[in-house]
Amino acid sequence: GRAQAERLVERFAPVRLTAIYSSPLDRCTQTVEPLAAAKRLRVSVAPDLIEMDTGAWTGRTLPQVRRTKLWRVVQTEPSRFRFPGGEGFVEAETRAVAAVDRIARKHPRGRVAVASHGDIVRIVLAHLLGTPLDDFQRIVVDTASVSVVVIDGSQRRVVLANDTGGLERFGQPAVAPWEAAADGGRRRRGKLRG
pLDDT at 183: 34
User: Is 187 a member of any domain?
Assistant: no
pLDDT at 141: 92
| pLDDT tens over the chain, length 194 residues | 788 888 899 999 999 999 999 999 999 999 999 999 999 999 999 999 999 999 999 999 989 999 999 999 999 999 999 999 999 999 999 999 999 999 999 999 999 999 999 999 999 999 999 999 999 999 999 888 999 999 988 889 999 999 887 555 555 544 433 333 333 333 333 322 22
pLDDT at 3: 84
Q: How many folded domains does the chain comprise?
A: 1
Q: Which residues face 163 on adjacent strands?
A: 146
Q: Compute CA distances 122 → 130, 159, 173, 180, whole Å.
A: 12, 14, 27, 31
- 88 burial class (0-12, 13-18, 19+ CB within 10 angstroms)? middle
pLDDT at 170: 56
Domain of 131, CATH number, reads 3.40.50.1240
User: Is 132 a member of any domain?
Assistant: yes
In angstroms, how far is CA 90 from the centroid of its own chain? Answer: 17
Q: What is the dihedral of CA 25, 27, 30, 35, to 10 degrees?
A: -100
User: Is 45 a member of any domain?
Assistant: yes
Range(s) of the domain holding residue 140: 2-52+87-163
Contacts for 35 with CB less than 8 Å, ≥ 6 apart: 5, 8, 9, 12, 17, 20, 113
User: Is 61 a member of any domain?
Assistant: no
